[in-house]
């Protein structure tokens, strides 16, 4: 069994190629304009992964910091930034205990990074760190997979994802009593040697959190929730959404 993301990092961007990263960046910029009235001096991207979104924001002129726990992901993020001549600072740190040299104007966390914190205490630790390193009045924007998605989409379903070089078998194990979902991932990847394929396995976990839980934890950490949305267009959150987007301000 490999360490989390050690293998996934190799094919993450291919598997996530349908994600509209520019649309996410547009959403963040609209929130900056509406709730800050100016461009934040520095933006921190928590759980930045391979840096797709981080580098897009950097290319739009933002001073970017990317934090992720996976060295493999960060290696690809830094290589992409260097190739594009983007001065992004990438840091290998835990989002529950990250440390910066100063404060930032905004923090974003995309693609259900918060769900990967499977204990409420860990979510509280993360929110506390974000509050510590945000400017007064700074924005914290993140999204979570909803309990509805865990129950009706993830469940105990299995999926197959494949392309020319990678085959991924994905089996979910969701416990509705605890809200915990384990993802059992089996990869078959081309080795480049005489048509041989190698098999790898990873296990990842996410926990479902209700909007009420998120709001309580955010308020305890010192945030005001400005809005909860169901999509990047800013549609108000509903009961059958797969993802909710939280826009919060440090108070």
Share of the chain above pLDDT 90, in %: 78
Domains plus CATH for the chain?
18-145+209-250 (3.40.50.150), 149-207 (2.20.25.110)
Distances in whole angstroms, Cα of residue 165 to Cα of each of 5, 168, 198: 18, 10, 11
Q: Is residue 1 over pLDDT 50? A: no
Average pLDDT, the chain: 92
Q: Is residue 11 over pLDDT 70? A: no
Determine the pLDDT at residue 3: 44
* Cβ contact 183:205 at 8 Å: yes
More confident residue, 95 or 191: 95
User: How many of the other CB atoms lie within 10 Å of CB of 69?
Assistant: 16
How remote is the C-alpha of 141 from its chain's centroid? Answer: 11
Q: What mean pLDDT do residues 164-176 have?
A: 88
User: How many of the other CB atoms lie within 10 Å of CB of 38?
Assistant: 8
Which of 5-19, 99-113, 196-210 bottoms out in mean pLDDT, i.e. has the lowest?
Answer: 5-19
Q: Give the residue among 154, 170, 146, 142 at the shortest CA–CA distance from 11.
A: 170
Determine the pLDDT at residue 5: 55
| Structure confidence by residue, pLDDT tens digits, 78-134 | 999 999 999 999 999 999 999 999 999 999 999 999 999 999 999 999 999 999 999
More confident residue, 83 or 14: 83
Share of the chain above pLDDT 70, in %: 93
Q: Is residue 38 over pLDDT 70? A: yes
If phi > 0 it is left, if psi is from -120 to 50 it is alpha, else beta; for residue 247 that is beta
Half-sphere exposure of 222 (CA within 13 A, CB side): 17
Distances in whole angstroms, Cα of residue 161 to Cα of each of 48, 66, 72, 103, 187: 22, 28, 21, 40, 10
Q: Is residue 237 over pLDDT 80? A: yes
Q: Is residue 63 over pLDDT 70? A: yes
């Amino acid at each position: 069994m490999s360490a989390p993301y050690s293998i996934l990092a190799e094919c993450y961007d291919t598997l996530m190629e349908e994600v509209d990263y520019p649309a996410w960046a547009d959403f963040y910029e609209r929130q900056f304009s509406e709730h800050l009235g100016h461009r934040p001096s520095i933006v921190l991207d928590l759980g930045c992964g391979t840096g797709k979104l981080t580098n897009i924001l950097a290319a739009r002129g933002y001073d970017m910091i990317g934090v992720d726990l996976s060295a493999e992901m960060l290696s690809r993020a830094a290589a992409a930034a260097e190739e594009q001549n983007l001065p992004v600072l990438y840091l290998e740190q835990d989002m529950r205990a990250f440390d910066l040299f100063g404060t930032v104007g905004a923090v974003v966390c995309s693609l259900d990074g918060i769900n990967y914190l499977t204990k409420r205490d860990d979510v509280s630790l993360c929110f506390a760190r974000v509050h510590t390193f945000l400017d007064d009045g700074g924005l914290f924007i993140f999204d979570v997979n909803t309990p509805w998605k865990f129950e009706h989409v993830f469940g105990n379903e299995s999926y197959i994802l494949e392309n020319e070089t990678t085959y991924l078998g994905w089996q979910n194990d969701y416990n509705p009593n605890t809200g915990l979902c384990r993802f059992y991932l089996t990869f078959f990847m081309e080795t480049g040697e005489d048509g041989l394929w190698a098999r790898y396995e990873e296990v990842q976990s996410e926990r479902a959190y209700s909007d009420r839980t998120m709001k309580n934890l955010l308020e305890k950490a010192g945030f005001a929730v400005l809005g909860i949305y169901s999509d990047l267009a800013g549609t108000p959150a509903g009961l059958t959404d797969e993802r909710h987007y939280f826009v919060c301000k440090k108070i």
